[in-house]
Structure 1
Amino acid sequence: MVIQLFGHPFSSYTWKAEIALYENDTPFEFRMVGPEHPENGAELARRSAVGKFPLLVDGDDAVFEATAIIEYLEAAHPGPVKLIPPNPAAAVKVRMMDRVFDNYVMNVMTVMVGNALRPEEHRDPYGVARARADLDRIYAWLDGEMAGRHWACGGDFTLADCAAAPSLFYADWVHPIADKHASLKAYRARLLARPSVASCVEEARPFRAYFPLGAPDQD
């Protein structure tokens, strides 16, 4: 039975799981979640704790949370691209960077996106200003980390890069990476040129009008 991935092409965390599948040419069926596919939403609600995507279904196994999905794929469907290094110390670094991109880039960026979705009278300028400052701080740190590196943890594409690609893609739309952070900007460009990531970018392109802050004319 082929793997099923429930999600939406414009969803950052769906991208993260899809990138891992594409990296190893793992066959899967994409099941889009949206009003036009109520059966997929019903199955997602049945199989996921809180009904959020992405959700991977592999026979009797159902795995939600993008990082856990990638961990599962490494264990159950390993391929030539080792997204989690076999060396325990290297694996710790990869997992740490995965959390950095999810928690300190993507989740901070969503503060600004969520604010834009609120009614005007409930918006939070102070929260947005703090989020911008937090992104500036992590951009500076990441720029230093990426100096001399090709991928997030060195020469190999890993779980950390699966997290970095959607995080930096959308974060740069919301709060642009400054030109002074040349190493980070170059890393983002390398990510977007990676075939697995480029496929996600193209699949999401028809949905850019959904972006509440307005998708910039780039990428």
Structure 2
Amino acid sequence: MVMELYGHPFSSYTWKALIAFYENDLPFTFRALGPDEPENGAAFGRLWPIGKFPLLVDDGQPVMEASTIIEHLQLYHPGPVRLIPDDPKAALEVRMLDRISDNYIMFNMQCVVGDALRPPERRDPIEVEQVKTKLETAYRWLDGWMAGREWAAAGAFSLADCAFGPALFYADWVHRIPDELANVKAYRARLLARRSIVRCVDEARPYRAFFPLGAPDRD
């Protein structure tokens, strides 16, 4: 049975899972969620009433959360690109960087986007500035961490890079990475040159008008 992945091509967390599929050329059916595909939404709602995507269905078994989906793929559908190292210490570093990406870059980016999606009278510019300050703090930490590194953890492309790819792509749209943070800027460029991430960027292009802050033309 071919795996099914529910999500949206413009969704950062959907990208995170898609990158893992594309890295190892795994066969799957993409179930896009949106008004044009009501049957997918209905099936998704039955499988996962929490309503957060992506969601993987493998042999009838639902697997929630992007990081867990990537772990599932490596466990049950391993390929040549090992996204979680076999060495436990290296794997711990990968998982740590995955959580840093999700909690301090992806989360803060989404807070800014979420504010822009509110009605004008409910927007909070003070909160947005506070969140952007947190985001820049995360950039500056990551710039130090990436000194002398090609990829985020364990010396190879991994789960952590699956996380940082979409996180840095969209975060730079909401709060530009300062020019002096050369390590982060170079890392983002390497991520955006990776075949799997190029594919995600291209598949998301038709939906850029949905970005509430206005999608820049540079990427």
Q: TM-score, normalised by structure 1?
A: 0.98
- What is the total number of aligned residue pairs between the two structures? 219
Q: Alignment partner of 1:29: what SS?
A: strand
What residue number does 1:208 align with?
A: 208
Q: Distance in 1 between matches of 2:63 and 2:83?
A: 17
Q: CA deviation at 1:155?
A: 2.8
What residue number does 1:217 align with?
A: 217
Q: Distance in 2 between matches of 1:78 and 1:111?
A: 34
Q: Is the 8 A contact 2:93 2:154 kept in 1?
A: no
Cα displacement string for residues 14-73 of structure 1 (whole angstroms, at most 9, x for unaligned residues): 000000000011111111000111110011111114022101011121101100100110
What residue number does 1:21 align with?
A: 21
Instruction: Give, as a single letter, the amino acid of the residue that structure 2 aligns with 1:98.
Output: D
Mapping for residues 84-95 of structure 1, pairs under 5 Å:
84-95=84-95
Q: Alignment partner of 2:204: what SS?
A: helix
Kindly indicate whether residue 189 of structure 2 is the aligned counterpart of residue 161 of structure 1.
no
Q: Is the 8 A contact 1:45 1:52 kept in 2?
A: no
Q: Distance in 2 between matches of 1:118 and 1:209?
A: 17
Mapping for residues 32-43 of structure 1, pairs under 5 Å:
32-43=32-43
Mapping for residues 100-111 of structure 1, pairs under 5 Å:
100-111=100-111
Q: Is the 8 A contact 2:91 2:154 kept in 1?
A: no
Q: Report the RMSD for the aligned CA atoms in angstroms.
A: 0.8
What residue number does 1:193 align with?
A: 193
Q: Distance in 1 between matches of 2:75 and 2:142?
A: 29
Q: Is the 8 A contact 1:6 1:56 kept in 2?
A: yes
Q: Distance in 1 between matches of 2:143 and 2:49?
A: 36
* % same residue: 63
Q: Distance in 1 between matches of 2:198 and 2:135?
A: 24
Unaligned runs of 5+ in 1: none
Q: Distance in 1 between matches of 2:53 and 2:203?
A: 17
List structure 1 runs of 4+ shifted beyond 3 angstroms.
none
Q: TM-score, normalised by structure 2?
A: 0.98
Mapping for residues 27-106 of structure 1, pairs under 5 Å:
27-106=27-106
Instruction: Give, as a single letter, the amino acid of the residue that structure 1 aligns with 2:89.
Output: A
